[in-house]
Chains A and B, each alone.
Chain A
Amino acid sequence: MRETATTLLPTAKNEGITFDAIGMTYPDGTNAIDEASFSVGAGEFVTVVGPSGCGKSTLLRIASGLLEPSSGTVDIDRNHLGYVFQDPTLLPWRTVRQNVELLAELRGLPRAERSELAGVAIEMVGLGGFEQHYPKSLSGGMKMRCSLARTLTLRPPVFLFDEPFGAVDEITREHLNDQTQQIFQREGFAGLFITHSISEAVYMSTRVLVMSARPGRLVAEFEVPFGYPRVQDLRFEPKFAELSGEISRELRGNS
């Protein structure tokens, strides 16, 4: 999939996401996003951090087309979009395998193809051996991995993550960070990631954007100078701490 994309003329449309002067006011008058313009290109992993309620989820819902912005436009190819929600949203009546196959099934892919895609995705997130389990017998982290695998079957060139690991413990989270990072390296998608954790933001991203409290607007942008693959020890390097500190100050200054 990615190979064919590189042989085409590079058009902004198929490569990533571009937000142009997005503003959002909900019908009840809540001004969630003031004005946001930025873009995420292929091979970029951009993380947005910001205080709770500043409009981060709103931004992703607009990007995905689930929500119409009040003003501005988004340039994105919505036919090939991966979106990992904050909750796993697994269908409880489906086994892990059936859940992972869901999106391919909804897209009408033939049985053999979706079975293969699901098999690969389940291996990628390390859920091999749990294919026949129902969600009720999975731990929180495993549910999230299952949700991630489900999105991976789409092999999306554009990947949205809404605080996917917010509800799991620290150790599981670091583990999931590494898996996501490996997948990012392999697939080279354009990633837009939301998190509350500055450490997670720096560890995962090529770029970190800081959003102000509501109404949200982008107040700062940080390039992350580390190459991939990154290992957990990176979190204890002075340069990592320094960057985290700068982002943290920026956040506090605006919340």
Chain B
Amino acid sequence: MTELQTTDAPLAGEEIPGALVVSEPVARRQARRQARRRASLASILIPPLLFGAFIIGIWYVISYLVIAPRRRFLLRPPHDVLQEGFLKWESLSELLDALWASSKVALIGLAISIVLGMLMAVIMSQAKLLERAMFPYLVILQAIPILAVVPLIAFWFKTGINARIIVCVLISLFPIIVNTLFGLQSADRGMHDLFTLQHVSRWTRLSKLMFPAAMPAIFAGLRISAGLSVIGAIVGDFFFARGEIGIGQVLRKYANNLDGEQLIAAVIVSSLLGVTVFLFFGWLQQRIVGRWYADSGAP
């Protein structure tokens, strides 16, 4: 009977002030956290690596078993692509130069989109009237297929780096504006009331409430726009077909020459840029909002 004296035990394991649940030794906790990180790194890397190996396997099967030897130029096996596209210095240096040219355009375009897009979103968030006036045109801008405006841009701005950057901005601006605006409007009424009661200035409300609340949405927009700006840079280069040689022109040249290995190598390189920017913003997002933002949906 007397064994059941548990009246002092914390209820539901928490909530008893001053009676902090005694923490396990710090060292043990750290060791466990490290083990967990190692396990999670493996669980992050292994599935995609396996799947990548699977895809390369299929690639070999298609190259050697599906396609008749006579027509093998259509899909050279992976080691040929590696050999011809990446391990030969002339083709590699051509690719890297093109990558550099396109990266410049994509990054400058993205930077302009970020600054311009966030600025426009902030302005629209401050004046409902402006938002209503401008939004339909943004939707139209978004709806125009980029291929339709490329000739117009070439007509107005020639085909130099400026024209390419404009293509990038046009294609990557919309997600930044829409996501930032959505984010700025995501703080709920109670939070606004809290600030209203302290008679804060517009600027304080924006910088201490609306902007931090918008961060997760802004990052979602950044990751979309980062990918789009890379596409913009390549599409612009492909259609202008002159000026500093970027990935677009290299792709066109290999396609015309039926250089199968190099074409595939160029496709791989072009995706590399997009993936890098995407990963960079993912990392930045984790750094900035990962601590407080509870990703929903993950079981």
From B18, B188, B198, B289, contact of A128 by CB (8 A): B18
**Known contacts A103-B198, A106-B198, A134-B291; A172/B15 CB under 8 A:** yes
Q: How far is the CA of A31 from the CA of B20 in the complex (A)?
A: 48
**Known contacts A85-B190, A126-B17, A139-B14; A93/B197 CB under 8 A:** no
Contact code string A104-128 (vs B, CB < 8 Å = 1, else 0): 0111000000000000000001111
**Which residues between 200 and 217 of chain B lie within 8 Å of chain A, taking CB atoms?**
200, 204, 208-209, 212-213, 215
Please tell me the number of chain B residues within 8 Å of chain A, measured between CB atoms. Answer: 27
Contact A134 B292 (CB under 8 A): yes
Q: How far is the CA of A29 from the CA of B204 in the complex (A)?
A: 34
- Whether a CB of chain A sits under 8 angstroms from the CB of B294 is yes
Contact B215 A93 (CB under 8 A): yes
Whole-angstrom distance between the Cβ of B248 and the nearest chain A Cβ:
40
Whole-angstrom distance between the Cβ of B89 and the nearest chain A Cβ:
50
Contact B215 A127 (CB under 8 A): no
Contact B190 A81 (CB under 8 A): no
Contacts of B74 in A (CB 8 A): none
Q: How far is the CA of A91 from the CA of B191 in the complex (A)?
A: 8
Contact B15 A64 (CB under 8 A): no
- Whether a CB of chain A sits under 8 angstroms from the CB of B49 is no
Interface centre among A89, A106, A129, A172 (most CB of B within 10 A): A106
Q: How many residue pairs, one in A and one in B, have C-beta atoms under 8 Å apart? A: 62
Whole-angstrom distance between the Cβ of A3 and the nearest chain B Cβ:
24
- Whether a CB of chain B sits under 8 angstroms from the CB of A251 is no
Contact A89 B294 (CB under 8 A): no
Contact A171 B11 (CB under 8 A): yes
- Whether a CB of chain A sits under 8 angstroms from the CB of B195 is yes
Q: How far is the CA of A94 from the CA of B213 in the complex (A)?
A: 11
- Whether a CB of chain A sits under 8 angstroms from the CB of B196 is yes
Q: How far is the CA of A218 from the CA of B20 in the complex (A)?
A: 44
Contact A126 B18 (CB under 8 A): yes
Contact B196 A89 (CB under 8 A): no
Q: How far is the CA of A94 from the CA of B191 in the complex (A)?
A: 13
Residues of A contacting B: mostly: loop
Contact A106 B15 (CB under 8 A): no
- Whether a CB of chain A sits under 8 angstroms from the CB of B293 is yes
Q: How far is the CA of A107 from the CA of B292 in the complex (A)?
A: 25
Contact A89 B188 (CB under 8 A): yes
Residue of chain A at shortest CB distance from B190 = A89
Contact A89 B292 (CB under 8 A): no
Contacts of B293 in A (CB 8 A): 92-93, 136
Contact A106 B190 (CB under 8 A): no
Q: How far is the CA of A66 from the CA of B196 in the complex (A)?
A: 8
- Whether a CB of chain A sits under 8 angstroms from the CB of B39 is no
Contact A136 B11 (CB under 8 A): no
Contacts of A139 in B (CB 8 A): 14-15
Contact A91 B197 (CB under 8 A): no
Contact B197 A66 (CB under 8 A): yes
- Whether a CB of chain B sits under 8 angstroms from the CB of A87 is yes
Contact A128 B17 (CB under 8 A): yes
Contact B11 A106 (CB under 8 A): no
Contact B20 A64 (CB under 8 A): no
**Known contacts A89-B188, A126-B18, A142-B15; A64/B197 CB under 8 A:** yes
4 interchain residue pairs of minimum CB distance: A126-B17, A89-B190, A106-B198, A134-B292
Q: A83-B197, A91-B209, A136-B292 are in contact. List 9 more A-B contacts (CB 8 A).
A: A85-B193, A93-B212, A93-B215, A106-B200, A107-B198, A127-B17, A139-B14, A142-B15, A172-B15
Q: A residues within 8 Å of B by Cβ? A: 64-66, 81, 83, 85, 87, 89, 91-94, 102-103, 105-107, 125-129, 134-136, 139, 141-142, 171-172, 175
Pairs across A and B, CB under 8 Å, 10 listed: A85-B193, A92-B294, A93-B215, A93-B289, A105-B208, A126-B17, A127-B17, A136-B294, A141-B15, A175-B15
